[in-house]
Amino acid sequence: MNRQSKANKTDVENVFQNIWHGGMPQAILADNEQRQEYFNSYVNTFLMRDVADLGGITDTIRFAKFITACAALIAQQVNYATLAETANISQVMAREWLRLLEGLGVIYLLQPYFNNTLKRITKTPKLYFCDTGLAAFLSMWLTPQTLLNGAASGFFLKIMLYWNC
């Protein structure tokens, strides 16, 4: 009982503040302007330049559209057709780019669980970002309040619950 009295009360606004900031140390401690600059630099250096070098991606404009589309489909079943159409690439390329992002620890594809092994293999995974702050930045949620009141708030909350379980 003593620990409960000392702990801060968690309310929805604090939860979405944590979701919006994400887990990267530089983004957690930054103000809004510094956070925007941090994620902008992260996307430009790591996701655009380094991933292009590692994955052989030459069309950075399409890759940027692809990453943004991934962020828009957060915590939902992967729809390769939608991702490919948004980035104007083939579905095969969309699968390769998702594997690349997963290998680099940017996203996580959660495979469905079924007792039936065949169903497990054929069912579609769900797409999660390993950092909610990056996903919120890519989805252009400019403040925690807009994220809380936005259409994707349930998906972001699902991620927070998944990573904290």
CA proximity to 47, closest of 26, 27, 65, 74 = 65
Please say whether the dihedral angle defined by the alpha carbons of residues 50, 56, 59 and 61, taken in this order, is positive or negative. negative
Asked if residues 135 and 156 have their Cβ atoms less than 8 Å apart, the reply is yes
Which backbone phi and psi does 64 adopt, to 5 degrees? Answer: -65, -40
Domain residue ranges in the chain:
31-163
Q: How far is CA 107 from the centre of its chain?
A: 6
Q: How far is CA 106 from the centre of its chain?
A: 7
What is the residue-level pLDDT of the chain in tens, covering all 165 positions?
566 666 666 678 888 888 888 888 888 888 888 989 999 999 988 888 877 788 788 888 899 999 999 999 988 899 999 999 999 999 999 999 999 999 889 999 988 876 776 666 667 899 999 888 898 899 988 888 888 888 887 788 777 666 653
The fold adopted by the segment(s) 31-163 is: Arc Repressor Mutant, subunit A (1.10.10)
- pTM for this model (two decimals): 0.82
Q: How far is CA 104 from the centre of its chain?
A: 13
Q: Whole-angstrom Cα distance, residue 126 to residue 84? A: 16
Q: In this structure, what DSSP letter does residue 115 have?
A: S
Residue given tokens 């489909």 in the structure block: 73
Q: Whole-angstrom Cα distance, residue 105 to residue 34? A: 23
Q: What is the pLDDT of residues 139-151, one digit of tens each?
A: 988 888 888 888 8
